[in-house]
Amino acid sequence: MTDISAAPRLAPAAPPAPRQPAGPGPDPDRARRLRRRTFTVDGVCAVLGSLFGSFGLVWLVYERILPFTGAAGFLLAWYAVFLLVLGTVTAMVWGARAVVDRIAATLMATLGLIILALIIDQIAYVTFTGRHALFHGNLFTQVMAFTGPDDPLTSGGVQHAVVGSVEQMAIATAIAVPLGILAALFLVEVGGPMARPVRSLIEAMTSLPEIIAGLFILALVVLTFGVPKSGFAAALALTVMMIPYVARSSEVMLRLVPRSLREASYALGASQWRTVWNVVLPTARSGLTTAVVLGMARAIGETAPLLLVDGLNNYMNADPFHDWQTSLPLFIFEYVREPQTVMRERAFAAAVVLMALVLVLFTIARLFGGKAPGELTRRQRRRAARDRALAAAERAREEGGGHVAA
């Protein structure tokens, strides 16, 4: 028999060397990311050549050969010929398959430029008309109680209208946001036979004329329940305008929450209301914030409902439950009809202030709406990266201690 004890013993295997981190060089296994160039030299030259060539052709035919006149007709003919020339050049250089894409991109770019030009024209016109009133600081610090129609712009302001708009929007938001989000949660999470009538009602309220909201509050709240015409009644009218927008936008955002998150919460034993409160709503928080801000921006400039349930005053009224409370849209509507030039300039200056408020709201919506539902913020991403680094360091320390013990 073979003596096992006499057999040579094998040396114990050395522990695996720790993996060294990769250098700063590029990873060969990573797929190369393709970047699409939106603008090329050939494309820009084709567009510019088609633009100037069509202009010369239309000018020669439209102005010199045919008996046509008028700037509108010239522009329409120029644009039609420009599209025709651009399509021909595209077919000759890039092939017939690229014609539709190039023409569609040109049409979309043209429409975008037209909309941008109209917006800039409106903002410039309103700002230029009310520029004299904007240059006086009293516009934001005084009211119209001691200012007559013929007084200079150094007297009077829109402070009371700004306060009224802010208070009315705060009340309307406090009422409309819970109702709108609850309606969206009912449509998404509960459903049932009542979901279709509720959705139909919300869609009908979306296309509801603004004056109908004012008539509804006037008939139900003012005439039936005896609530006086005040800032609170105006806020209720704005609430009617905000609810459908908040509900529809919130429903879209809640439907973007993955179903797997709900199923994981149910698998852990959570009830439906706890799943909604701890999973669904936090995941859709950024989208819901965008829906709320867009609803506020939709209602802050409404004038028609306020004409029936509120009135114009010239003094500061910070109590929305008593007496009339002027808002910026009502101030603009009343003062722009005055025959005095200074009164109209104050109205246009108030319109600039209102546009600034709407711009601030849309900017907030853009900032919060840039993230998809459930996407981490920058601070949360930094915290998660720091936690991963600490966890990796702890694992490396434990592995190093285990190798030393071995």
Question: Residue 184: which CATH number?
Answer: 1.10.3720.10
pLDDT confidence band for 266 (50 / 70 / 90): confident
Q: Is the pLDDT of residue 323 over 60?
A: yes
Q: What are phi and psi of 5, to 5 degrees?
A: -65, -25
Closest by CA to 317, choosing from 228, 238, 236, is 228
- Among residues 76, 95, 129, the one where a domain terminates is 129
Per DSSP, 33 falls in state: P
Provide the pLDDT for residue 282: 85
Q: Which two tokens stand for residue 399?
A: 């592995």
Q: Which helix (H) or strand (E) holds 357?
A: helix 341-369
Q: Which two tokens stand for residue 395?
A: 């694992």
Closest by CA to 78, choosing from 100, 103, 52, 41, is 52
pLDDT confidence band for 111 (50 / 70 / 90): very high
Q: Which two tokens stand for residue 229?
A: 């015409």
Overall average pLDDT of the 239-261 stretch: 89
Domain of residue 218, residue span = 141-383
Q: Which two tokens stand for residue 97?
A: 């398959």
Provide the pLDDT for residue 27: 47
Provide the pLDDT for residue 82: 92
Provide the pLDDT for residue 31: 46
Distance CA 373, CA 177 (A): 18
Of 39-43, 124-128, 262-266, 364-368, the range with the lowest mean pLDDT is 364-368
In a domain, 134, yes or no: no
Q: Are residues 343 and 363 in the same domain?
A: yes
Structural domains of the chain, count: 2
Q: Are residues 215 and 272 in the same domain?
A: yes
Q: Are residues 82 and 192 in the same domain?
A: no
Q: Which two tokens stand for residue 32?
A: 């190369």
Overall average pLDDT of the 105-122 stretch: 91
pLDDT confidence band for 178 (50 / 70 / 90): very high
In a domain, 46, yes or no: yes
Overall average pLDDT of the 278-286 stretch: 85
Q: Are residues 260 and 199 in the same domain?
A: yes
In a domain, 182, yes or no: yes
First to last CA, the chain: 34
Which of the given ranges, 99-113, 136-150, 199-213, 276-290, has the highest pLDDT on average? 99-113
pLDDT confidence band for 176 (50 / 70 / 90): very high
- Is 303 within 8 Å of 333 (Cβ atoms)? yes
The residues, any chain, with a CB within 8 Å of residue 10's CB and separated by 6 or more, are none
Q: Which residue has the higher pLDDT, 151 or 83?
A: 83
- Is 328 within 8 Å of 353 (Cβ atoms)? yes
Provide the pLDDT for residue 359: 85
Provide the pLDDT for residue 348: 92
In a domain, 285, yes or no: yes
Q: Are residues 206 and 354 in the same domain?
A: yes
In a domain, 400, yes or no: no
Q: Are residues 181 and 223 in the same domain?
A: yes
> What is the share, in percent, of the chain residues with pLDDT greater than 90?
15
The residues, any chain, with a CB within 8 Å of residue 159's CB and separated by 6 or more, are 140, 141, 142, 143, 316
Q: Are residues 190 and 77 in the same domain?
A: no
Could you give the dihedral angle defined by the CA atoms of residues 156, 159, 160 and 162, in that order, rounded to the nearest 10 degrees? 140
Q: Are residues 115 and 159 in the same domain?
A: no
Q: Are residues 236 and 347 in the same domain?
A: yes
- pLDDT tens string 157-166: 888 899 999 8
Provide the pLDDT for residue 28: 46
pTM for the structure as a whole:
0.71
Mean residue pLDDT of the chain comes to 82
Q: Are residues 229 and 308 in the same domain?
A: yes
Q: Are residues 329 and 260 in the same domain?
A: yes
Q: Is the pLDDT of residue 332 over 70?
A: yes
Which residue type is seen at 229? K
Q: Are residues 300 and 374 in the same domain?
A: yes
pLDDT confidence band for 375 (50 / 70 / 90): low
In a domain, 34, yes or no: no
Provide the pLDDT for residue 13: 47
- pLDDT tens string 4-16: 444 444 444 445 5
In a domain, 25, yes or no: no
- Among residues 89, 108, 129, the one where a domain terminates is 129
Max Cα-Cα span within the chain? 127
In a domain, 292, yes or no: yes
- Among residues 129, 162, 197, the one where a domain terminates is 129
Distance CA 302, CA 310 (A): 12
